[in-house]
């Protein structure tokens, strides 16, 4: 399982990377714009924070395949380290994925709402597909079911493409897609922190510490000599 940060907030990225087993950072145009900075400088700063080996996902904004391919090449030239280009699963996007795959530029097929969109993207050569779990739920579908069906299709046809599920509003959604065959999830900063935030855990830790202090008079196992 891979865990990615779905944010361009440098402070939060640095914090989460220090505490959590992060595989990289995903961005999209909305996330980039929110930071109100020159986008290329921001992406380079993210790279500096996460290092060269962790994946950085950057989305193209052109509508035609030719524009997407040129943007992807530009992104790959400008950014060092492991870069994955996000491409929407429009007809032009599938064409772009095919061309980029032929040129060994890794892609993630984004804006996935149906299993068949994911299948076509995988057949075109996408390294990852990103089903939008919560957005599917909001359209009266089941994001978890879509992830499960994508996983079944990939297994049936022995496709190497990985599922990187996106768009979450609660921990239960993340939990469910992890059980449904997703190889990775990309999650907002606030939600990642909720993965291990459970009141009973804090209560137990406090109780253990108090009992230890009552017995030994110190706060840790480094007893005073």
DSSP 72-122: HHHHHHHS-SSEEEEEE-SHHHHHHHHHHHHTT--EEEEEE-SHHHHHHHH
Of 19, 3, 17, which Cα lies nearest the Cα of 175? 3
* Catalytic pick among 11, 34, 86, 95: 86
Give the strand pairing for 107-112 and 2-6.
unpaired
How many Cβ atoms from other residues are within 10 Å of residue 180's Cβ?
20
64 catalytically annotated? no
C-beta of residue 52 within 8 angstroms of C-beta of residue 81: yes
C-beta of residue 132 within 8 angstroms of C-beta of residue 113: yes
- Name the residues annotated as catalytic: 86
């Amino acid at each position: 399982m891979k865990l990615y940060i779905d944010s361009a907030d440098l402070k939060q990225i640095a914090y989460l990377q220090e505490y959590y087993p992060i595989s990289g950072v995903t961005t999209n145009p909305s996330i980039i714009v929110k930071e109100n900075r020159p986008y290329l400088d921001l992406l380079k700063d993210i790279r500096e924070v996460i290092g060269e080996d962790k994946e950085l996902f950057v989305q193209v904004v052109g509508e035609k395949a030719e524009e997407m391919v040129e943007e992807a090449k530009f992104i790959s030239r400008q950014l060092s380290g492991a870069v994955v280009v996000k491409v929407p699963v429009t007809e032009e996007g599938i064409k772009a994925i095919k061309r980029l795959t032929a040129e060994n530029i890794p892609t993630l097929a984004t804006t996935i709402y149906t299993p068949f969109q994911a299948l076509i993207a995988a057949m075109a050569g996408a390294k990852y597909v990103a089903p939008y779990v919560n957005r599917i739920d909001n359209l009266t579908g089941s994001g978890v079911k879509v992830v499960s069906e994508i996983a079944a299709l990939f297994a049936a046809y022995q496709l190497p493409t990985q599922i990187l599920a996106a768009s979450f509003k609660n921990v239960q959604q993340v939990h469910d897609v992890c059980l449904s065959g997703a190889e990775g999830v990309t999650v907002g900063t606030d939600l990642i922190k909720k993965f291990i935030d459970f009141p009973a855990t804090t209560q137990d830790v406090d109780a253990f510490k108090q009992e230890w202090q009552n017995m030994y008079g110190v706060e840790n196992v480094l007893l005073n000599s």
